[in-house]
Amino acid sequence: MYLKSIELSGFKSFAKKVELTFNSKVSAIVGPNGSGKSNIAEAFRFVLGEQSIKSLRGKKGEDLIFNGAGDLPRANRASVKVTFDNSSKFLPIDFDEVTIERVVHRDSVNEYLINGSQVRLKDVVELLGSAHIGASGHHIISQGEADRILNASIKERKAMIEDALGLKMYQYKKIESERKLEKTRENIKQVESLRREIAPHLKFLKKQVEKVEKSIQMKDELTKEAKEYLKREDDYIKQTEAHINNEKAPLLKKEKELEKELNDAKHVLEKAKNKDVKSEELIELEKSLHNIRDEKDSLSRDFGRLDGELSSLVKIVKKQEEIAHSSEHKTVTLVSVEQLSTKIEDRVNNAKSSNDVSVLIKTLDEVALLVSDFIDRNKEKIDNSLIVDAQRDIETLRKSKKQIEKTLEEIREKEEEFTTRYNSLKSEIEKEKDRNRDAEKAVFRIMAESQEVRSKLHDLDSKQNNLNLVKEDYRRELTELGHLLGQYILDFKNLDFDYNEPRSNQEERRRKIEKIKIRLEDSGGIGATDVMKEFSEATDRDQFLEKELVDLDKSATSLTELITDLDNRLSTEFKTGVEKINHQFREYFALMFGGGDAKLSVTVAPKKKKKDTDIPLDEDLETEDIEESEEGIDIDVNLPKKKVKGLMMLSGGERALTSIALLFAISQVNPPPFIILDETDAALDEANSKKYGDMVESLSSRSQLIVITHNRETMSRAGILYGITMGSGGGSKLLSVAFDEAVAVAK
């Protein structure tokens, strides 16, 4: 036996705590009308989770609490506690004894407890549902419930049977799965919509990222080239500047020394009593002679350069002439070769088509002759174009050389004239007094040395000016690269290279840097951190949505398969259950009526789903009624010795017997742990009460029975009898009699 006891406190008419212990297969509860015995059945409904106050014969939760009567004050709460023996673990909880308690307060607040721990209603329903126990299940049958199965519609009747067969759990799972599936499909649409929304932006960002990546590559390339360029340029500037300074320092010192010596010599000459005009003339001659020699040196260098170029061109012409007359380097035009090839192919093809060996041999001779003639014709051809151009250049150089020779001759004549006058004047001056001669010699020497020093300083100043331009370009380049690449470009100072390369390599490197900078500007620059971050976030978002979409698709597929499985299981178990019920129904029906036949049949009846008034007024929509079929359960009976085959033709007693037979049959297909029968035998006569008692005794072999009855026959089948009376104070009281103990006492 699973049901051990039920305890009521403040529930309806039970003002004080009352406990009923069920240690017999059949326990009967009796009492006069109005004593509160049916409140026991309602207490079971209440504690097992019934939510309809109307089913408990009340309008609000407060109606379930004892409201006071006579000397008894009203209660503030009502509680019902039921205790189960769970040693067989028919309830999926790891306790050998399970108590379920429900408490309702005056403010209609409910509490649910399992083994004293507060839980939710859902927890109670799920725990009991696993054992096919429910607040409104087929195991709590009142007098009205018995007849209700006959008066119900085919759909309601089907629901009752599904509940009795324990299929409600599957239906709940199916409804929950369908709700989840609908929600999943809505989520799929939302995710797909989100992906469609971000797709164009993601595509745009991808193109931007490609540009950024290309810019990064160009930036890396620019960084590499820029660092090498800057390092080489920096070292070149430092080395060149140091070299200029090293050469310039002794020259400046020498220039100052010569200037001082010159001033001293001039001071001596100025002190001379008779200023020698010849000395001044000699100085002027010295200057003129120096200038004309510089001009002669320049022309001599130009003459040497022209002479070298002329010699080189002469050698080139000689080489080209040798090549032109050499058979080894002869060239022929592509057109002449193609013509020769065409002639040979024509003769070879003709020979092949003749299939004659003599013709083939003759053709070979002709081909050999064609090749020989071609070589002889082209052997004498000479390409004189290069030789003509070179000879033209040689002629131009010879003219320039003659012009320079003429100019040099004129300069030599002037130099000779100046030299003659200079030597003559010098001889005259040497004849002057010794005192002035030394000063004049010093002037001559100082002027010569000063000219040489100034010339060298001038060359160094030119180099310095060129270096200043290089430094300016270097600073500008460093500034631009700093803006593009950041301050870390200054790391170039830590690099080391082999500097043994021509200066032209550095210029080529600079042109390459300029090209990369232009490409960077065209690509939109390199400041694209925000684009990369946004693309990364958008990609992560899209990948997350894609993964979520895959998960949702899998979930939808899984739910669809689950719903299909549940449909198949519901259909299979429902059909199997109906067959089992029919087997029991026939037996109980025949037992109750002494024969006859009864059965349940699955039927489909049409049901109007919508009417014209339910449809929007639209010209494009039809206004005909839309119908759908509805599956349900119909009951067919055939009474013995009567031509009665429909429920509508049964008398009140026959309906009671039929409903009892059906309810008992249903309870035997999936026997619940206990069954409560609340005056279901009230409409039976004495003969039928005997049959009812037999069925009660039969049912007790599979389920524990609590019978609320007025029927003596039914009472006789109980092992324990609880009497409910209404006390003088207005509350229900409990009396109990154990028949086995009573018989033993009587004996």
Q: What is the CATH number of the domain that holds 421?
A: 1.10.287
For residue 125, give the CATH number of its domain: 3.40.50.300
Residues 193-240 have pLDDT tens digits of 888 888 888 888 777 777 777 777 777 778 888 888 888 888 888 888
Looking at the domain assignment, is residue 389 inside a domain? Answer: yes
CA 207 from centroid of its chain's CA atoms: 18
Query: pLDDT at residue 581 above 70?
Result: yes
CB burial string 235-249: b at 16+ within 10 A, e below: ebbeebbeebeeebe
Instruction: Specify the range with the lowest mean pLDDT, choosing from 192-206, 211-225, 301-315, 378-392.
Output: 378-392
pTM of the model: 0.50
Residues 692-727 have pLDDT tens digits of 888 888 888 888 899 999 888 889 889 899 999 887
Looking at the domain assignment, is residue 31 inside a domain? Answer: yes
Query: Last residue of a domain, which of 431, 448, 463?
Result: 431
Residues 626-650 have pLDDT tens digits of 445 577 888 888 888 777 667 777 7
Residues 661-687 have pLDDT tens digits of 888 888 777 778 888 888 888 878 888
Task: Report the number of distinct structural domains present in the chain.
Answer: 2
**Which tokens in the block code for residue 460?**
């160094």
Looking at the domain assignment, is residue 267 inside a domain? Answer: no
Residue 19 pairs with which residues in a beta bridge?
7
Q: Count of CB atoms within 10 A of residue 252's CB?
A: 12
Looking at the domain assignment, is residue 269 inside a domain? Answer: no
What is the rounded CA–CA span in Å between residue 283 and residue 287? 6
Residue 627: predicted pLDDT:
47
Q: Specify the length of the chain in residues.
A: 747
Q: 499 falls in which pLDDT band (50, 70, 90)?
A: low
What mean pLDDT do residues 413-441 have? 73
Average pLDDT in the chain: 80
Query: Last residue of a domain, which of 431, 447, 466?
Result: 431
Residue 423: predicted pLDDT:
80
Highest-scoring range by mean pLDDT, 88-92, 263-267, 481-485: 88-92
CA 181 from centroid of its chain's CA atoms: 24
Element (DSSP H or E) covering residue 676:
strand 674-678
Looking at the domain assignment, is residue 118 inside a domain? Answer: yes
Instruction: Specify the range with the lowest mean pLDDT, choosing from 73-82, 109-118, 240-249.
Output: 240-249
Asked if residues 659 and 150 have their Cβ atoms less than 8 Å apart, the reply is yes
Instruction: Specify the range with the lowest mean pLDDT, choosing from 347-351, 377-381, 398-402.
Output: 377-381
CB burial string 452-468: b at 16+ within 10 A, e below: ebeebbeebeebeeebe
Looking at the domain assignment, is residue 152 inside a domain? Answer: no
Q: Regarding predicted confidence, which is higher, 10 or 205?
A: 10
What is the rounded CA–CA span in Å between residue 132 and residue 115? 20
Looking at the domain assignment, is residue 373 inside a domain? Answer: no
Q: 115 falls in which pLDDT band (50, 70, 90)?
A: very high
In the chain, % of residues over pLDDT 70: 86
Query: pLDDT at residue 478 above 90?
Result: no
Asked if residues 66 and 731 have their Cβ atoms less than 8 Å apart, the reply is yes
Q: What does each C-alpha distance from 249 to 125, 241, 243, 254, 270 come to in angstroms?
A: 108, 12, 10, 9, 32
Domain span including residue 313: 277-325+382-431
Query: Last residue of a domain, which of 396, 431, 466?
Result: 431
Residues 601-621 have pLDDT tens digits of 888 866 555 544 444 434 443
Looking at the domain assignment, is residue 391 inside a domain? Answer: yes
